[in-house]
Structure 1
Amino acid sequence: MPHSMSLFVVASLLAFAPLCLCAKSSGGYLYPQFYDRSCPKATEIVRSIVAKAVAEEARMAASLIRLHFHDCFVKGCDASILLDGSRKITTEKRSNPNRNSARGFEVIDEIKSALEKECPHTVSCADILALSAGDSTVLAGGSSWEVPLGRRDSRGASLSGSNNNIPAPNNTFQTILTKFKVQGLDLVDLVALSGSHTIGDARCTSFRQRLYNQNGNGKPDFSLEQNYAGKLRQNCPRSGGDQNLFVMDFVSPAKFDNSYFKLLLASKGLLNSDQVLVTKSAAALPLVKQYAANNQLFFQCFLNMIKMSNISPLTGNKGEVRRICRRVNSQ
C-alpha cells in the first residue's frame, strides 16, 4: 500500500476512534486501578460470577449490558436502577423501559454479596454494573476494555427519568439522537452502542406495530423485509403474546459481532429504533455500512461504552457505597 494511502486509511480510522476520556467531577476522576489497594480481587470476583451466569444462560450477557445502559441514562451511572421501591423511593424497575424486561438483578446481588465478604463497604453497585457490562461483552466474543472505576451509588431513583430518558423501540431517529445528546453522547456513540443488539432478545410488544400498524393506518412497516416480517408474525400476533421473545440478531444471536449491522442493511433490523439508523439518517447510514464491512472497526468504536459509563458519576463524598444494591444504607 502506498504511504499516502496508508496515512489516509489511518486517518479514516481515527476519525471514528472512540473518545476514551474518563469523566471528571468535583469529587475526582474515575480510573481502572481504583480498587487495586482497597479490594484487589474485585474485578476477578465480578468476572467469575458473570462468567458463571452467562455460562448458565447466554442471554444474561445482553441483559447485564442493558442494565448498565438503562442505569446510566437516568441520573448518570449511579446504580439507581437497582433500588427496589420503598416508602421513600419509587423504583425505576416499574418504568416502561424496565417493567417485565430489565433483568440480571440476582446476578448483581450475588456479586455484591461476594464483594462484601471480601472487602466490606468498598465496591459500589454502580461499579459492579460497569464491570459486569464489560465482562459480558468479552464473554460474548466482543472487545475488552479497562473499566474506569470509582463511582458511588445514589440514594434515590427517578421513575420519570427512566420513562423519559431511555430511548424506546418506537422512537423516531431524531428523538433517539436527542436522548443521546442530552447525555453528552453523539451520533457515532449512538450507532456503535446500538451494536450491542447483536446479542439479546426483544419482546413482541416492542416491535408489534411494525408488523401490523406502523403509522396508525393499519398497514405494516414496509421498510422491514417482508419474508422476515412474515416469520415474525407467526409468534407475534396482532394481539396477545406480548412477552414472546425474539432474538435481535438471528444470524449469530449469542455472538458479539457485526452481523447486526449487516441485518440492518438487509432491512432485517428487528426494532424500529434499529432500522431507522439506515432509513432515517443520511449521517448514520455510512457508519452502519462501515461497521457491517469491518468487524474490528465496530469493536474499536464499541469502546465508546467507556464514554457512556462515565455519564455523571457520583465520586468523592457524593452518594454512598451501598451494602445491599437493592436499598440505600439508611433503610
Structure 2
Amino acid sequence: MTKSGDHGAAEAQDGHSCCAPSTSRAEAADNHPTTVAAGPAVKSEASPEFSFDFVTASGPFDMGDPFGDGHPADGEGPRHRVDLTEFEIATTSVTNDDFARFVADTGFVTTAERLGTSAVFAMLLETNPGARAHVLGQAPGVPWWVEVSGANWAAPEGPGSTIDNRRDHPVVHISWDDAQAYCAWSGTRLPSEAEWELAARGGLKGRRYPWGNRLLNDGEWNCNIWQGEFPRTNTLDDGFIGTAPARHFAPNGLGLFNTVGNVWEWCADWFARDYYQHSPQSDPRGPDTGDKRIMRGGSFLCHDSYCNRYRVAARSSNTPDSSASNIGFRVVRGAL
C-alpha cells in the first residue's frame, strides 16, 4: 500500500491523496490472488429506488480557491469563471442501503472484494478488535492506515464488521470503477469536478465552506472531520469517529448534505495540477487522460494540522482502483 505524502504531516500537506491511501492494486493482486469474478454492471430494468432526492443546479460561478488556502500540488488556482449547463445532483452521497440494492440486483463484486483487501483507518479497528488478525501491513510513515484482508463495503473494518447499524451512512471502500458500475445500473453518472464544486457551494460565492467562512457556528460543528490531535486523539466533538449518516448536519443552500467532511466523493474527471490554467469556460470535463481521478470534499479524517481539504475549493485525487474506509461517491443525472 502506498500513499502520496507518506512521511508525516508536513509532507502530507502536499500529497494528492491526503487522508486516503492509494493502493497498488497490481501488487495486491499478486500477493492476494482471488478467484471471485466481477459482477455485471448493467442498467436496471426498473427505476432504482434511491435514498436521496435530486436537485437542479446550473452555472455560472467562480471556481477555485479565493483565499490561497490550497496546497500547491493540488492546483486549486487560478480562480476562474465556469458556465455549467443545468444538471441534477443527489442530495446525499450513495448510502449503504443504495449500494446494497445495486448488488442484490446485479451480483456486482467490488474491487476490494475481488482483490480481498482494502485500506482501513487503524483507529476504527477498535470497534472490531477481531479484524486485527486480518491486518496485512501498514504504509510507511502513515501508521494510521492499515491494509485489512476482507475489508470491503459490506464489512468496513474487515471480517466481523457489518453495515447493519449504518445503513443510512455513505457506502465506503468504493473504487472509481465501482462507482462507475453503480452509475451504469442506476442511469446516473459521476459529477464533473466543476459540477461538484458548484453544487457543494450551495449558492454562496467565494466562501471556504458550504455554510460560510467560519468552520464553527456558535461553537457548533457543521461537518464530520477530526477534532483533537491527529492521528492520536479524536475528541469526537462532532460525535463521530468514522462516518456519519448521509443526512447528518444541516444541508447547504441547494439542499445537499455533507459536501465537505464525512467521505471523499469521486468525480468523473482525470486529475491534472495545471488544468485550471487552460480549462474551457463552458462545461469543463477535465483532462483527456491521466492516471488519477478527482476526489472532492475531504473526509472524517481531515484535520487542519494534516489536511485542510474539507473546503469546497479543495482538490485531491486517487487511482481509479483504490478503495478505503473514507471513500464514497455522489451521483448526478442530466446533460454534460
> Which one has a larger percent strand, Structure 1 or Structure 2?
2
Q: Mark yes or no: TM-score above 0.5.
A: no
> Which one has a larger percent helix, Structure 1 or Structure 2?
1
Q: TM-score, normalised by structure 1?
A: 0.26
Q: TM-score, normalised by structure 2?
A: 0.26
Query: Which structure has the larger Rg over C-alpha atoms?
Result: 1
